[in-house]
Chain A
Amino acid sequence: MSRRIAIVEDDAAIRENVADTLRRQGYEVATHPDRSHALPAFKSRLPDLAIVDIGLGADVDGGFTLVRELRAMSDQLPIIFLTARDSDFDLVSGLRLGADDYLTKNISMPHLLARIAALFRRIDVLRSPPKVEETVDRGPLRLDLKRMTATWRGAPVDLTLTEFWMVHALAKYPGHVKSRDSLMSDANLVVDDATVTSHIKRIRKKFLAADAAFDAIDTVYGMGYRWVAG
């Protein structure tokens, strides 16, 4: 059974380009230009994954509203923001609403596909617990590579896909310095250094919320970051 992906995007060219790319990968794609078209369709049948733009025509924050409504319908549905807006404020707002990832429109199609595939993998694993666990254990940190979830001293740390990939890239080789560029490619991201910095900050905050003494991510000024084995 092919998976259904809904794209809510006001720009017809991008909408169709993304749709074509996804269809070529075997996904079933439904496209909607704005909220008034998307919402009735979602109500009649939820897609397996939703890609939503924030600005929908005249409705400047229409994407935020739509995602809130979608989350109300299902808390399992993977949602990706795909938007031209790259401010920290929008990013934080988007993730707070419960989106699984926040991507800017300059992402390449292969990167987008990789993320979509990863999200679906995570869903699959969550639905049917695998017999063999594939994990990375670094002291108190445990990364479940199948579910793409992280726990710190047994407590779950709620990471987005981007954040999970970054933590994974760092923790895989403790002590090695990862430059911002390599973190970006590991996380299938095309952003600037400042965005990587703010991702790292957010990751630290999430771990600090689980453990106030967390200091495993070390900044190596001018080079990047490294995981310090506890």
Chain B
Amino acid sequence: MSAALAAIPFVGYGYVREMENILRSAQEQRVIATARAVATALHDRPRLLEFSAADDDSSRRPGARAATQEIEQILVGLRRASSRIFVIDQQRRLLAIAGSLRQDPPAEPEVAGAWGWVQARLLRPLWALLLERPPEDFDDAIPEELLSGGKEVDAALSGVPASRWRPTPDGRAVVLGAAHPIWSGTEVIGAVVAEETTNSVLTLRNRVFEQLLTVTLAVFVLGAGTLFLFATRLSRRLRRLRDQAEHAIDPRGRVRRAFRASGDSDEIGDLSRSFATAVDRLAEYNEYLERMSDRLSHELRTPIAVVSSSLDNLRTRAIPEDAQVYIARAEDGVRRLNAILTSMSEATRLEQTLATTERERFDLGRVVSGCVAGYTAAFPRHRFELALPERRVELDGAPDLIAQLLDKLVENAMDFTTPGEPIEIAVAADGATARVSVSNIGLLLPEAMADRLFESMVSVRSPAAKAEASGKPKGEPHLGLGLFIVRLIAEFHRGTARARNREDGRGVVVEVAFPIAPPA
């Protein structure tokens, strides 16, 4: 389309050029016709010329003056605006002259209103820069060389009508001159020269060019405007699609919400729909992954039940003493498998619980201090340090779940703490946010993994290192589900969980921030 638009000015330009040529040849014909008409009027009236011719010197007699006046009358009668006609005799003496090459510049048509203003103030100055205006103050003297050796004059005096384009002596304008012989019988007694500048054609050409340029400009502005609107709309839709795509998946790669497919029938609509399909599939796959541990534990439970019930039956038989140890080991293995299965399905069960849990207001400090008292009694090998805020911090949620969350945080801290170092538990309130943090001294987190800790089945610190640090017997399952449960409970309370290395670089602090319940 733009190629077609770009061709318009060139086609127009060629057309105007063609028109200019036609106008020029029409002008030429007209000037020739004028010269011929004057010459015809003077044909066979040699007296008019002879009088003049006889009077070579400047002392003019009344008869000669009368002849000159008659010629001039004829000339004036045939003269046209912006044309000059003069008559010379065989001796190339100027007998009479009428008209002028100059003309008043044609008045520009005035258009009222905004369009007129645009034309006068914006377009005309612009066109004036592009188009050469025919000058009005050229040198219009009849050059000496025209009379003494102008080709058309020579030709006319030898009996042949001729025409010629010549520049004015100052070169600022072009003059079309046509000369026609004046016959007296078979003898050429003089010549009529009719001259006209090409200014009228140029003016006309300029006006057509101006219109052409105005139309072209208008078409371009219109085309560009249309393209701009179209492009704006496209880019707006693309931007919206991008925002939607970005928001569909959170920084952790979880599908945040369903992607609303566009109903548009074009390519962007297609793109939106395929995005929606991709996001849906991703959501299904994510769900499959999150449910996998649950399904796996469900599928494994039956074969494990087979093993454990078989072992139970075996126990009732008389078994040689040296074989008992194998049964004990098998039972230990089954017990560990069961523990793994239980923790694997814990997250799923918690999600089901969350869906039906009723919220209540409770004092966060009381729950945490109760829990810490419990840990102190239950885990004498560890030291717990508790910091509580001075004011009462109320949350809207389920205290049982907060206790479960704290269990997981403390379990995690105990797994990785250096023996003998305290586990610091703190509740703090600033503004509308309550923070529970559990901090331990021990292994550090790799920085890059800090955000992924709260995903299902992600464990960053290696179990071997952990077993070493905690001195626990090997084999206690560490599936990376604990912090996932922390996240689920935090999100249930509209909070966020974050793990980072301590500022002193000696360990890790896990912090959960909750919005404090507004005063009732």
Contact = CB atoms under 8 A, between A and B. Distances in A.
B494 interface: no
Given A194-B404, A220-B374, A84 B313 contact: no
B304 A13 contact: no
A226 to B, nearest CB: 12
The interface centre, meaning the residue of B313, B345, B407 with most chain A CB atoms within 10 A of its CB, is B313
A17 B310 contact: yes
A195 B377 CA distance: 23
A223 B302 contact: no
B350 interface: yes
Interface stretch (A26-34, A103-111, A137-145): A103-111
A221 B371 CA distance: 5
Contacts of A191: 342
B407 A86 contact: no
B353 A106 contact: no
A88 B308 contact: no
B298 interface: yes
A151 interface: no
Contacts of A88: 349, 352-353, 356
Contacts, number: 107
A222 B313 contact: no
B326 to A, nearest CB: 18
Contacts of A219: 399-400
Contacts of A190: 338
Contacts of B367: 221-222
B374 A221 contact: yes
A91 B399 CA distance: 23
A106 B310 contact: no
Contact of A86 (B349, B366, B373, B406): B349
A222 B438 CA distance: 15
A106 B338 contact: yes
A24 interface: yes
A108 B377 contact: no
Contacts of B452: none
B312 interface: yes
Contact of A14 (B305, B346, B356, B402): B305
Interface in A207-226: 219-224
A74 interface: no
Interface in B272-323: 298, 301-302, 304-306, 308-310, 312-313, 316
B370 interface: yes
A20 B310 CA distance: 10
A197 B313 contact: no
Given A21-B309, A86-B345, A221 B403 contact: yes
A30 B209 CA distance: 109
B308 A110 contact: no
Interface range on chain B (Cβ under 8 Å from partner): 35 or more
Contacts of B434: none
Interface SS of A by simple majority: mixed
B349 A194 contact: yes
B372 interface: yes
Contacts of A222: 367, 370-375, 403, 406-407
A202 to B, nearest CB: 12
A88 B351 CA distance: 11
A191 B342 CA distance: 8
Contact of B370 (A89, A106, A109, A220): A220
A195 B345 CA distance: 11
B370 A192 contact: no
A18 B313 CA distance: 9
A84 B302 contact: yes
Given A219-B399, A220-B374, A87 B309 contact: no
Of all A-B residue pairs in the complex, the 5 with the closest CB atoms, nearest first, are A222-B371, A222-B374, A221-B370, A109-B312, A223-B374
Interface of B: 298, 301-302, 304-306, 308-310, 312-313, 316, 338, 341-343, 345-346, 348-350, 352-353, 356, 366-368, 370-375, 377-378, 399-400, 402-404, 406-407
8 contacts: A24-B313, A87-B348, A105-B301, A106-B342, A179-B378, A192-B342, A194-B350, A222-B371
Given A220-B370, A223-B373, 4 more contacts: A17-B306, A88-B356, A109-B309, A222-B373
